[in-house]
């Protein structure tokens, strides 16, 4: 069955540094992969979507890469700020199959120290 | 514009009781989804409505769970009878029709309902 893995350990970094989060998947060939942010007591909030033929996508301080050979996506936050502290979720997006059910990883908690 | 809303925010019930969760999607979003996160696990898909029709029920755990979306607006998820393992956070999400979303599957989540079964 499909499996998606994110580093369950929290990532602690200093303000101003670049945070890099990893998402690995197996038994799946997604055409799309999504990243969400989740704050305590709230639902996930969509950040970025990347298609397999895009390799890299940017939005302001965010950058996502997608390597279908390694079956891995990397999520980068440059010039990180304490307000970036949250849990970040990656999700496999099956929309190219006609389905819409997202398969989420367990998330990585990011803590940015001032 | 209001986002996805869910009611109640918290519910504490005894094992064997019935609970009904409600979700109001963003206006104009034909697609409505239910997901849940049980303690220590990832968010898992339950089902997907397109308007009032169940498009995908593959994530529903068993027949104690019943989801409805009469009229294609708000949705309810009933758990009857509730068991201890049903405890968790239930999220509702909605999204635009595919044709209006440019092929994107961006989903807008509500704040969730935290269900505790004692």
A84/B16 Cα distance (integer angstroms):
41
Contacts A34 to B, Cβ<8 Å: 105-106
pLDDT value at A29 more than 90: no
The first and second tokens of residue A96, run together, are 């190219």
Give the minimum alpha-carbon distance from B48 to chain A in angstroms, rounded to a whole number: 7
A97 at interface of B, judged by CB pairs closer than 8 A: no
A101/B1 Cα distance (integer angstroms):
25
Q: In this complex, do B42 and A104 lie within 8 Å of one another by their Cβ atoms?
A: yes
Phi, psi for residue B107 in degrees, rounded to 5: -110, 140
Q: What is the mean pLDDT of chain B?
A: 94
A89 at interface of B, judged by CB pairs closer than 8 A: yes
Contacts A43 to B, Cβ<8 Å: 4, 91, 93, 109-112
Helix H, strand E, coil C: the string for chain A is CCEEEECCCCEEEECCCCEEEEEEEECCCCCEEEEEEECCCCCCEEEEEEECCCCEEEECCEEEEEECCCCEEEEEECCCCHHHCEEEEEEEECHHHCCCCCEECCCEEEEEEC
A-B contacts (CB, under 8 Å): 61
Q: In this complex, do A100 and B33 lie within 8 Å of one another by their Cβ atoms?
A: yes
Domains of chain A: 3-113 (2.60.40.10)
Contacts A44 to B, Cβ<8 Å: 43, 91, 109
B107 at interface of A, judged by CB pairs closer than 8 A: yes
B94/B74 Cα distance (integer angstroms):
10
Greater model confidence, B43 or A29: B43
Mean pLDDT of B105-118: 96
Contacts A42 to B, Cβ<8 Å: 111-112
With cut-offs at 50, 70 and 90, classify the pLDDT of residue A96: confident
B19-42 pLDDT, tens per residue?
999 999 999 999 999 999 998 899
B56/B33 Cα distance (integer angstroms):
9
Contacts B93 to A, Cβ<8 Å: 43
Domains of chain B: 5-97+108-117 (2.60.40.10)
The confidence score (pLDDT) of residue B112 equals 97
Q: In this complex, do A95 and B112 lie within 8 Å of one another by their Cβ atoms?
A: no
Q: Where are the beta strands (DSSP E) in B5-62?
A: 5-7, 10-13, 19-24, 31-37, 44-50, 53-56
B63-105 pLDDT, tens per residue?
999 999 988 899 999 999 999 999 999 999 999 987 666 667 8
The confidence score (pLDDT) of residue B102 equals 67
Q: Could you say which of A43, A89, A102 has the minimum Cβ distance to residue B112? A: A43
Pairing of the two strands B113-117 and B53-56? unpaired
With cut-offs at 50, 70 and 90, classify the pLDDT of residue B1: low
With cut-offs at 50, 70 and 90, classify the pLDDT of residue B2: confident
């Amino acid at each position: 069955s499909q499996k998606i893995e994110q580093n369950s350990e929290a990532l602690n970094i200093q303000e101003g540094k670049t945070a890099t989060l990893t998402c690995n998947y197996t038994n799946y060939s997604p055409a799309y992969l999504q990243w969400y942010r989740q704050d305590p007591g709230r639902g996930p909030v969509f950040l970025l979507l990347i298609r397999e033929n895009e390799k890299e996508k940017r939005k302001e301080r965010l950058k996502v890469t997608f390597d279908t050979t390694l079956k891995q996506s990397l999520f980068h936050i440059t010039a990180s700020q304490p307000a970036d502290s949250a849990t970040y979720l990656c999700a496999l997006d099956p929309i190219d199959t006609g389905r819409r059910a997202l398969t989420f990883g367990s998330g990585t908690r990011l803590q940015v120290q001032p | 514009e209001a986002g996805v809303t869910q009611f109640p925010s918290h519910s504490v019930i005894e094992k064997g009781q019935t609970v009904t969760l409600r979700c109001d999607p963003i206006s104009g979003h034909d697609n409505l989804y239910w997901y849940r996160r049980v303690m220590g696990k990832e968010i898992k898909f339950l089902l997907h409505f397109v308007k009032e029709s169940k498009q995908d029920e593959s994530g529903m755990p068993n027949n104690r769970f019943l989801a409805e979306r009469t009229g294609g607006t708000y949705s309810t998820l009933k758990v009857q009878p509730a068991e201890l393992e049903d405890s968790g956070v239930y999220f509702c999400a909605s999204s635009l029709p595919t044709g209006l979303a440019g092929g994107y599957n961006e989903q807008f989540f509500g704040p969730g309902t935290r269900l505790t079964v004692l």
